[in-house]
Amino acid sequence: MNLGWALRFIGTGASNGGTLGHSAAVLERNGEPVLLIDCGQDALPRFHDTYGEWPRAIFITHVHLDHISGLEQLHGRIALGQADPVRLYVPTPIIRQLHERIANLPHPLAEGRKNFWDRFRFIPVAQGFWHEEHWFDVFEVRHHAPGFAHGLRLSGHFLYTGDTRPIPEVLRHYAASDERIFHDCSLKGNPSHTGLDDVQREYEADLRDRLVLYHYESEAAAERLVEAGFSVARPGQRFMLGAARHMHAPPVLSSVPATNGSAAVAPGPDLSRRGFE
């Protein structure tokens, strides 16, 4: 029995995945899965291998296929009665993109005349959401375009950036309760992702000490990140999360930065570039 909160990575790789798997993590409580963060191509079989069941709640950070393509498999399993309907938490700025990428077919399955979303409990998210009576903050990160990608925080326990460039000002605001910070990082950065030199330049020592890096390009890259002095998540690895020092409730509206809830952002022409997902 693993008491308390933990975050287990079922994949830690970039869009090429491979043996690392596509980046996805599961928030656990007392050893039980509570919330899956992202659902790429291999997330579902890895989740099932780990827990012997299908996920019941998922948060989506953004619509690159290494983070959402498993939803199609899940839809099929729900439709065929093999899995229960899933609570799907989706930031409002990416709803249209998500629909257009995976759910816009008139006949998503041969079986039955139903819409793709009939199989899910779809929950739009702005500044955050309640899940199992805990409040999760959602905030915009830097990945391709404004409003395109989002991170997640459970106050006092963890912050998960999703795919992003460095966001020091966001971490200072949202990771102010000593949360463990799980952060996108490759050995070599690019216009859409963080690299080792970015982390060393953009974050002060107290933030760097709290980082756990994931979404890297290879096992060799992970070794180099470790040699540089960083904690690195490996596929299957579980991180115990500290106890919250105070109860947390949704922020009052007047103090919420105006980063979420903006109009849906149309995908720019660079979204189809390979290797930057």
Q: Interface with Zn ion by CB under 5 A: which residues?
A: 64, 66, 163, 277
Question: Which of residues 41 and 127 has its CB atom nearest to Zn ion in the complex?
Answer: 41
CB of 1 to Zn ion, least distance (A): 33
Question: Which of residues 61 and 231 has its CB atom nearest to Zn ion in the complex?
Answer: 61
CB of 143 to Zn ion, least distance (A): 6
Q: In angstroms, what is the C-alpha Rg of the chain?
A: 18
CB of 273 to Zn ion, least distance (A): 11
Burial bucket for residue 133 (CB in 10 Å: 0-12, 13-18, 19+): exposed
Question: Which of residues 64 and 165 has its CB atom nearest to Zn ion in the complex?
Answer: 64
Torsion of CA 130, 131, 133, 136, to 10 degrees: -50
Question: Which of residues 119 and 163 has its CB atom nearest to Zn ion in the complex?
Answer: 163
Question: Which of residues 165 and 180 has its CB atom nearest to Zn ion in the complex?
Answer: 165
Which phi and psi angles does 65 have, rounded to 5°?
-65, -25
CB of 192 to Zn ion, least distance (A): 7
Q: Which runs of consecutive H residues, i.e. helices, occur in the chain?
A: 43-51, 65-68, 70-79, 95-98, 168-174, 196-202, 205-208, 219-227
96: nearest Cα among 62, 127, 71, 128: 62
Distance of alpha carbon 22 from alpha carbon 5, whole angstroms = 23
CB of 211 to Zn ion, least distance (A): 18
